Amino acid sequence: MRARTAVVGVVIFLAGCASVPASAPAYSRAPDAGDGRANVYVYRGRLDDGRDPCSRVHARTLFVDGRPAFDLVQGAYTVLSLAVGTHRLELLRDAASGCAELEFYLHVEDSRSRYVRISDVRTMVTLYDGPHAAIETRAENLPESAAEAELQACCRYVAADPLPSNPSPSDALIRGHR
């Protein structure tokens, strides 16, 4: 899996938080996707200091092959049923919070489940006026055992919007349109 990440400058914190509904079920493994498809579990990790300013501010929509799949918030996961092949997943840049855009490709080669953690890492960048704290958004493909332990400890299920089995060009959204 190749990942392209973007680094942004100082993050602006806004009042209010996106959160997982209290009634959302805890993590449990989904039934096999079947028919040449694989379950892809996507969840939001935390910064190494336990805070995640990009997801705490408000939900960010995860797009799969140009279509919105679900609103990604800290403490939530979803399961996507993806066909064999390569899929583009992305979070668009959030200008209000300064959170980075993330685009990466996930190759599904068989019906084995995949686990993708999206997390933010605090880094230092040097700008024209000196060093500044920044947030780098990353996507990591984790082994099942590590991902399931994290999912059981942190996350509750949020349903993804249905994605078409065989999307046509007219199904794709214009970049940035919600």
CATH number reported for the structural domain that contains residue 72 in this entry: 2.60.40
| Inside any domain, residue 175 | no
Retrieve residue 174's tokens: 């214009």
Q: Look up the pTM and report it.
A: 0.74
Distance in angstroms (rounded) separating the CA atoms of residues 111 and 139: 21
Distance in angstroms (rounded) separating the CA atoms of residues 76 and 19: 8
Distance in angstroms (rounded) separating the CA atoms of residues 83 and 142: 19
| Inside any domain, residue 137 | yes
Contact, 52 vs 11, CB < 8 A? Answer: no
65-120 residue pLDDT tens? 999 988 888 788 999 999 999 999 998 766 666 677 889 999 999 999 999 998 87
> What's the mean per-residue pLDDT of the chain?
75
Distance in angstroms (rounded) separating the CA atoms of residues 105 and 107: 7
| Inside any domain, residue 20 | no
| Inside any domain, residue 151 | yes
| Inside any domain, residue 148 | yes
Q: What is the mean pLDDT of residues 2-12?
A: 33
From residue 4, alpha-carbon distances to 7, 51, 88, 156 in Å are 10, 22, 11, 27
| Inside any domain, residue 26 | no
- pLDDT at position 176 over 50: no
| Inside any domain, residue 177 | no
Range(s) of the domain holding residue 126: 3-10+33-161
- Residue 134's contacts (CB-CB under 8 Å, 6 or more residues apart) are 7, 8, 9, 10, 11, 122, 123, 124, 125
Amino acid identity of 173? L
| Inside any domain, residue 83 | yes
Instruction: Report residue 147: phi and psi, to 5°.
Output: -65, -45
Retrieve residue 86's tokens: 């390569």
Higher-confidence position of 165 and 82:
82
Split into its structural domains, the chain has a count of 1
Query: In terms of DSSP H, where are the helices of the chain?
Result: 53-57, 144-154
